[in-house]
Amino acid sequence: MSTDHQLKRYTEIMLGNTDANSLILWRVNIPENEIHEIYEGINIKEKFKGEELTSNLKPIGQVFKGQPPSEHIHIIVELPATTVKRKMPTITHAPKTNTGLSRL
């Protein structure tokens, strides 16, 4: 995935009826052992010093200066408030390859 827009589009496909433009992406740096602190309704900006990713065209390489630490959560996708609540599978790690994502 090379841009914020492609990440939003991929998430839109995974979530079904959610419009990619309504998603909010946050750049964070959360160690894996703190994953239990992520929950619905949390203020990502305050709790995790999250930075909202506002550009749809900015390459992901410009979002992260250097190699992000391994075994950390780097991006949180926030669903719009109007999204119908439904049980979603827990995803703890993003796939390490981008096979097939370049078509998005």
100 sits in which H/E element:
none
> For 22, which DSSP code?
G
pLDDT tens readout for residues 86-104: 555 555 555 554 444 433 3
pLDDT tens readout for residues 52-79: 988 777 787 788 878 888 889 888 888 8
Coil, helix or strand at residue 45: helix
11 sits in which H/E element:
helix 4-15
The pairing of beta strand 24-31 with beta strand 51-53: antiparallel
In the block, tokens 């995935």 appear at 1
Domain ranges of the chain: 4-103
24 sits in which H/E element:
strand 24-31
pLDDT tens readout for residues 19-52: 777 788 899 999 989 988 888 788 999 999 999 9
